[in-house]
């Protein structure tokens, strides 16, 4: 690696400090601050880190974070929050302050830092050890706080924290190298570079610097050369022949999605966390010409199934059959393209689970012990962990489960819970003893750690997966019970335990193997082939320990050359609006309900992937979904693709015109090519949400290109102008073709619709995503397109409000009482007759005063959407007449809103008087 820095650049101080703290081996080159070291940027960008792959990092915080990760220290969520605060709050203050003003403008940030350190009660920002956040903030504040004239006053915590860093040789050394003794003055240098890090870490590329990239002549010519190469001719990347088996010379990818529990209808959070994310990566992998097998299925054994069967008056098997079909139907509607969707209640499951059990027994990795268990005398059964709830013994969280606390993540034995309750009947269970078998995790721990070191360093494990796994190992592994006193499960074959079944978290992950075995009798070519196969596990973060510790220990202990996970991809949680999904309370959208909304599954897929909780928890919001649909899909992506196709149909009789590229066109090709490369780099690393933004960036570039060139005007001019209109139209329709390919993993139906409308050759699917990205001319001169029509529909305010009410746990006032669920009836603690008169009274008062709160709420959303539309048109430099018309609509909506709020609807004359 090579690190390029310049004197007087405060951001270079950060990276040099991080380099010394981490001890990462890297060549440091001092260059002039005007030198352009990142080849595809036309302006200077320092510091810059050249990676072994040939890629560059040129955000100082990103470089620092990378250096820490290379050294084996991942950035926690809290650490990421501090880095974002440094970029969005501290740096703007540092830029604003000059000389004696510095102390004044830093009052706010320093007060916040003081409060956070005092609350945290730890020596460093994120805990007991130095993190990248400490280094970045120390380096940013060093020239100021090391100057005695910049008094910290009563901020004792900040002073103590800063003094710890100030004595570090790495910080003093980096400051000396960069500032060259200039102290506070040196911090004012090179402010243009400093501005680069003041955007939020999670801002979309459309809002950040990438939309303003400058392109070199070399990039333009290279893009034009690639464009001229045309399409490859080979078999479709989406064609499959079953059974899919590993192939020599191919990248063989085995994908698993966490097995959904059979008797729960999955909600949107379940869908994005597991099957949808896996489906996107699976489709992408095939576009990349990888040999992909995607398996999943329902997890069907355990107490929950027994209880559900009792509730519905069915046998456990009947419950499994019923809900397996429900799951399969939901995933089919969401277009989840499994190669095989199986289940765990099969003979193969019993055969493989018992084989692994006997191998563990043979190699001495099983131990016997007597266990104290909770038994509900009211339900007459031992309680599975998921059916016990109480107070966590570690963090006092009141809703900890019997196996794990969702708040602190620690493992729990159910008997350790304070005030335990049976979740079925809410009675207090009693403790009873029973003999069980345990997997001796401490005995396998050294093997596990060796494997984890290799897998986490070479594979793409998400930061939360690494963090959760390390916390388990840090606490020390303990023997883990693998048997349960149940009837519905895979039977334990040992004669001394013949009345017991395997515990679900020993048994369920083996379902990946048995499901593959039910797909093909050559399943071992996937699961006992670690040298040829890369295994990706997709899940939500609560499932991480079982996939990174418990299941790998089972396979390592079996000593049968099993394929272990190479890449563990875990999401955070998706919440619903400002609460959690709850089927019983009627809160949130569940998989079987999405279809009933009338919103196409591709739009659901798009929005869930847009808010995919990759680095932190996120939330589903109806208002945000409508905004993203109307702005990103309708006004941005759909608008561009429709215009490009319509210009071909309207101006060129449905045939792609001749294209003579000018510098402006080559610049666009280079911009689009760069976005394509970013998309591929991110998708290769399973950064699905971030990659989606680059698709939307491309359509933004396209809209701006059309708006600036105005082909609808040039087509009416002379030969030169008509030729220019043809080039702009031809390039645009080819960008639309590229977008159809990039969209395929996210919105498969929309992708196919675009290709059908463009009559695009099938080979475009095979060409565009090869290598680092290949944007070629797929629709050449004379190519006849199909019939063009709009791709998306607007989500109206009243439609969204109705859906929000429907899934918010409350019924609309005008809905008949009989439609209320039992849970909603139970939630009502007052007779319906008591509050009933209040509603009409309030309505009458509102009517007299002209106030209509419900209408005002709808109009507020409409004003926001129309305002966004006007801003978009202005940014795209649309025709004046078009902007004027939309502004008129906006003003009319504002008048209606004022009336609905009981205000004066005519503020315009007052503005005129002020002029």
Residue-level pLDDT at 184: 37
- Tokens 């059309």 found at: 706
Phi, psi of 480 (to 5 degrees): -120, 125
Integer angstrom CA distances of residue 850 from 582, 877, 896: 37, 39, 11
Q: How confident is the model at residue 210 (pLDDT cuts 50, 70, 90)?
A: very low
Average pLDDT, stretch 121-143? 87
Under 8 Å between Cβ of 147 and 102: no
Residue-level pLDDT at 384: 75
Task: Find, among 706, 655, 673, 652, the residue nearest to 877 by Cα.
Answer: 706
* Bridge partners of residue 431, in order along the sequence: 374
Tokens representing residue 580 in the block = 């959690």
Distance between CA atoms of residues 604 and 276, nearest Å: 11
Stated pTM of the model: 0.68
Distance between CA atoms of residues 735 and 709, nearest Å: 16
Q: Is 529 exposed, middle or buried (0-12, 13-18, 19+ CB in 10 A)?
A: middle
pLDDT in tens, 607-629: 999 999 998 899 999 999 999 99
Q: How confident is the model at residue 502 (pLDDT cuts 50, 70, 90)?
A: very high
Under 8 Å between Cβ of 824 and 809: yes
Q: How confident is the model at residue 100 (pLDDT cuts 50, 70, 90)?
A: low
Most confident of 206-210, 234-238, 510-514, 868-872: 510-514
Alpha-helical regions (H) of 744-837:
748-758, 763-767, 797-806, 822-827
Distance between CA atoms of residues 263 and 265, nearest Å: 7
Residues 6+ apart with CB under 8 A from 365: 439, 440, 443, 444, 553, 557
* Position 831 pLDDT exceeds 50: no
Average pLDDT, stretch 506-520? 97
Tokens representing residue 334 in the block = 């969401």
Q: How many CB atoms lie within 10 A of CB 284?
A: 23
Handedness of CA 173, 177, 182, 185 (dihedral sign): negative
pLDDT in tens, 701-740: 999 999 999 999 999 999 999 999 999 999 999 999 999 9
Residue-level pLDDT at 149: 46
Task: Find, among 748, 634, 622, the residue nearest to 334 by Cα.
Answer: 748
* Position 863 pLDDT exceeds 90: no
pLDDT in tens, 343-379: 999 999 999 999 999 999 999 999 999 988 888 898 8
pLDDT in tens, 551-590: 999 999 999 999 999 999 999 999 998 788 887 778 889 9
* Position 814 pLDDT exceeds 90: no
SS3 per-residue string spanning 592-624: HHHHHHCCCHHHHHHHHHHCCCCCCCEEECHHH
Q: How confident is the model at residue 342 (pLDDT cuts 50, 70, 90)?
A: very high
Integer angstrom CA distances of residue 147 from 135, 159, 199, 497, 538: 18, 12, 28, 72, 50
Under 8 Å between Cβ of 242 and 66: no
Q: How confident is the model at residue 55 (pLDDT cuts 50, 70, 90)?
A: confident
* Position 840 pLDDT exceeds 80: no
* Position 595 pLDDT exceeds 60: yes
Range with lowest mean pLDDT among 1-5, 26-30, 810-814 = 810-814
pLDDT in tens, 149-188: 455 677 888 888 888 877 776 666 666 665 544 433 444 4
Residue-level pLDDT at 448: 97
* Position 850 pLDDT exceeds 70: no
Range with lowest mean pLDDT among 103-112, 120-129, 325-334, 637-646 = 103-112
pLDDT in tens, 681-712: 999 999 999 999 999 999 999 999 999 999 99
Residue-level pLDDT at 885: 73
* Position 839 pLDDT exceeds 80: no
Under 8 Å between Cβ of 330 and 591: yes
Q: How confident is the model at residue 854 (pLDDT cuts 50, 70, 90)?
A: low
Residue-level pLDDT at 582: 81
Range with lowest mean pLDDT among 8-12, 389-393, 514-518 = 8-12
- Tokens 């610049």 found at: 667
Tokens representing residue 208 in the block = 């950040």
End-to-end Cα distance, the chain: 59
Handedness of CA 205, 207, 210, 215 (dihedral sign): positive
* Position 479 pLDDT exceeds 70: yes
Q: How far from chain centre, in Å, is Cα 631? A: 20
Under 8 Å between Cβ of 795 and 599: yes
Residues 6+ apart with CB under 8 A from 838: none
Average pLDDT, stretch 848-856? 57
Half-sphere exposure of residue 793, counting CA atoms within 13 Å on the CB side? 8
Residues 6+ apart with CB under 8 A from 526: 245, 246, 252, 254, 293, 516, 533, 563
Q: How confident is the model at residue 898 (pLDDT cuts 50, 70, 90)?
A: confident
Q: Which residue has the higher pLDDT, 442 or 472?
A: 442
Under 8 Å between Cβ of 571 and 540: yes
Q: How confident is the model at residue 835 (pLDDT cuts 50, 70, 90)?
A: very low
Integer angstrom CA distances of residue 567 from 25, 146, 628, 681: 26, 44, 31, 16
Average pLDDT, stretch 631-639? 96
Average pLDDT, stretch 233-243? 71
Task: Find, among 782, 670, 657, 666, the residue nearest to 729 by Cα.
Answer: 657
Bridge-based pairing state of the strands 381-382 and 366-376: antiparallel
* Position 81 pLDDT exceeds 90: no
- Tokens 């509102």 found at: 846
Average pLDDT, stretch 234-256? 86
Under 8 Å between Cβ of 294 and 350: no
pLDDT in tens, 405-452: 888 878 788 889 999 999 888 999 998 888 999 999 999 999 999 999
Distance between CA atoms of residues 481 and 484, nearest Å: 8
């Amino acid at each position: 690696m090579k690190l390029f820095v310049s004197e007087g650049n405060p951001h270079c101080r950060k990276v040099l400090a991080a380099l010394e703290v981490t001890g990462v081996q890297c060549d440091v080159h001092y260059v002039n601050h005007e030198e352009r070291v990142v080849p595809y940027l036309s302006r200077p960008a320092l510091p810059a880190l050249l990676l072994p792959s040939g890629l560059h990092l040129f955000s100082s915080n990103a470089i620092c974070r990378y250096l820490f990760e290379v050294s084996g220290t991942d950035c926690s969520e809290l650490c990421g929050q501090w880095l974002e605060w440094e970029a969005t709050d501290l740096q703007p203050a540092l830029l604003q302050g000059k000389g004696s003003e510095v102390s004044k403008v830093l009052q706010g940030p320093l007060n916040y830092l003081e409060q956070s350190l005092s609350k945290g009660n730890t020596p460093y920002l994120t805990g007991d050890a130095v993190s990248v956040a400490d280094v970045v903030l120390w380096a940013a504040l060093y020239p100021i706080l090391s100057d005695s004239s910049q008094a910290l006053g009563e901020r004792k915590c900040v002073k103590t924290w800063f003094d710890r860093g100030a004595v570090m040789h790495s910080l003093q050394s980096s400051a000396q190298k960069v500032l060259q003794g200039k102290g506070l003055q040196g911090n004012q240098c090179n402010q243009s570079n400093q501005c680069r890090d003041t955007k939020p870490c999670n801002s979309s590329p459309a809002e950040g610097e990438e939309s303003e990239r400058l392109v070199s002549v070399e990039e333009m010519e290279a893009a034009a050369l690639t464009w001229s190469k045309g399409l490859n001719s080979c078999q479709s990347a989406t064609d499959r022949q079953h059974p899919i088996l590993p192939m020599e010379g191919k990248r063989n990818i085995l994908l698993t999605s966490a097995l959904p529990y059979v008797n729960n209808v999955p909600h949107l959070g379940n869908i994005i966390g597991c099957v949808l994310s896996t489906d996107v990566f699976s489709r992408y992998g095939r576009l990349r010409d990888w040999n992909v097998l995607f398996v999943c299925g329902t997890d069907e054994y355990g107490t929950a199934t027994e209880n559900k069967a009792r509730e519905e008056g069915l046998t456990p098997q009947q419950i499994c059959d019923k809900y397996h079909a429900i799951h399969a139907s939901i995933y089919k509607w969401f277009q989840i393209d499994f190669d095989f969707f199986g289940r765990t209640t099969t003979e193969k499951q019993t055969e493989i689970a018992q084989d692994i059990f006997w191998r563990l027994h043979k190699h001495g990795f099983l131990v016997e012990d007597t266990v104290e268990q909770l038994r509900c005398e009211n339900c007459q059964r031992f309680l599975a962990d998921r059916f016990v709830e109480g107070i966590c013994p570690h963090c006092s969280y009141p809703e900890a489960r019997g196996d794990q606390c969702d708040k602190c993540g620690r493992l729990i034995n159910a008997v350790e819970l304070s005030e335990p309750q049976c979740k079925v009947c809410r009675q207090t269970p009693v403790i009873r003893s029973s003999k069980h078998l345990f997997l001796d995790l401490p005995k396998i721990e050294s093997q596990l750690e060796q494997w984890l070191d290799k897998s986490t360093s070479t594979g793409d494990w998400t930061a939360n997966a690494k963090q959760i796994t390390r916390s388990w190992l840090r606490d020390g592994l303990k023997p883990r019970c693998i048997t349960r006193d149940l009837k519905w499960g895979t039977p334990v074959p040992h004669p001394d335990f013949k009345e017991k079944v395997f515990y679900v978290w020993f048994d369920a992950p083996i379902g990946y193997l048995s499901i593959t075995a039910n797909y093909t009798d050559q399943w071992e070519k996937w699961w006992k082939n670690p040298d040829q196969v890369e295994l990706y596990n997709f899940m939500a973060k609560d499932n991480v320990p079982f996939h990174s510790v418990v299941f790998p220990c089972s396979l390592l202990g079996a000593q049968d050359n099993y394929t272990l996970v190479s890449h563990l991809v875990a999401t955070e949680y998706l919440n619903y609006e400002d609460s959690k999904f709850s089927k019983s309370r009627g809160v949130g959208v569940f998989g079987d309900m999405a279809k009933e909304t009338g919103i196409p599954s591709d739009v659901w897929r798009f929005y869930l992937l847009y808010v995919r909780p990759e680095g932190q928890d996120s939330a589903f919001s109806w208002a945000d979904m409508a905004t993203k649909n109307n702005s990103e899909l309708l006004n941005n992506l759909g608008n561009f693709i429709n215009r490009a196709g319509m210009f071909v149909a309207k101006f060129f009789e449905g045939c792609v015109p001749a294209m003579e590229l000018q510098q402006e066109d080559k610049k666009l090709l280079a911009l689009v090519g760069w976005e394509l490369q970013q998309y591929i780099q991110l998708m290769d690393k399973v950064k699905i949400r971030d990659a989606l933004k680059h698709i939307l960036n491309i359509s933004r570039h396209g809209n701006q290109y059309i708006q600036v060139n105005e082909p609808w005007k040039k087509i009416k001019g002379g030969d030169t102008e008509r030729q220019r209109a043809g080039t702009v139209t031809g390039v645009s329709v080819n960008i639309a073709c590229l977008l159809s390919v990039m969209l395929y993993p996210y919105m498969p139906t929309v992708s196919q619709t675009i290709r059908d409308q463009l009559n695009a050759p099938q080979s475009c699917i095979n060409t565009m995503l090869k290598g680092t990205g290949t944007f070629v001319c797929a629709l050449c001169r004379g190519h006849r397109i199909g019939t063009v029509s709009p791709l998306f529909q607007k989500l109206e305010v009243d439609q969204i409000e109705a859906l929000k009410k429907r899934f918010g746990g409350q019924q609309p006032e005008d809905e008949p009482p009989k439609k209320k669920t039992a849970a909603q009836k139970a939630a009502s603690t007052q007779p319906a007759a008591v509050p009933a008169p209040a509603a009409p009274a309030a309505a009458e008062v509102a009517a007299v005063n002209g106030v209509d709160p419900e209408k005002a709420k709808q109009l507020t959303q409409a004003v926001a959407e129309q305002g966004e539309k006007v801003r978009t048109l202005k940014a795209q430099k649309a025709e004046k007449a078009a902007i004027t018309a939309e502004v008129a609509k906006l003003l009319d909506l504002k008048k209606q809103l004022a009336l609905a709020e009981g205000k004066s609807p005519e503020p315009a004359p007052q503005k005129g008087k002020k002029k």
